[in-house]
Each structure stands twice: as structure tokens, then as C-alpha cells.
Amino acid sequence: MIAILGLVLGVIGSMVLGIIVLASVPTFRISVSNLFVFVFGAFLGMFALSNLLGRGLNALGLLKGAPIDRQNELIYVWAFLGALIGGTVFVWLKLRLQKKRV
């Protein structure tokens, strides 16, 4: 039940972030397909960057002495940045690879 709640909150948070990014970048349009692509890219970017950084910092020994609360705060910041980067890159790629309508 908690996993479903986390998934729903993650989708809602990614949708809000997607609407903000799509509205603020002039070449992006707010559409359902762009929002769907942003949310998909945000989830991939969030998990990829947070796992990569968490494993990298743990392998370097930088997180061994830190309390678990401090480790979670670092991962949450990187997860947010990963969502922002992943969603933006996926929408950019979609628009770049999309065929132009004449």
C-alpha cells in the first residue's frame, strides 16, 4: 500500500514538475504526449541518477560514517535533479526526432 502511495505521489510530483518545465521552455509545448514523455523520462532519470550517485559515493566510502537521515537527504536532492534532467532530455529527444508536419 505504501509503495502504491509513493508511486502516485511520484507521478503527481513529476507531472507538476513537467508542467512547470514545459511551460517555461519556449520550444516545448504543453500537451498530453509531452507530459507523458516527461513523466516517463523523469522516473528513469530519478532512479538512474540517484542509484548511480548512491552507489558511487558508497563505493568511495563517503557515506559510511554518515547517519541514514543525511544519506537520504542527499539522495532526494539527486533524485529531484535526475527527474528534471531525465524528463527534459526525453521531451527534447521526442521533439527532435519527431517528423515535421508540412
CB 39 within 8 A of CB 11: yes
Per-residue DSSP letters for 15-53?
Answer: HHHHHHHHHHSTT----HHHHHHHHHHHHHHHHHHHHHH
What does the block give as the cell for 49? 541518477
pLDDT at position 69, please? 65
Per-residue pLDDT of the chain (102 residues; tens, 9 = 90+): 788 888 888 888 889 999 999 899 888 888 999 999 999 999 999 989 888 887 888 788 877 776 766 667 777 888 889 999 999 999 999 988 887 766
pLDDT at position 65, please? 72
Predicted model pTM: 0.82
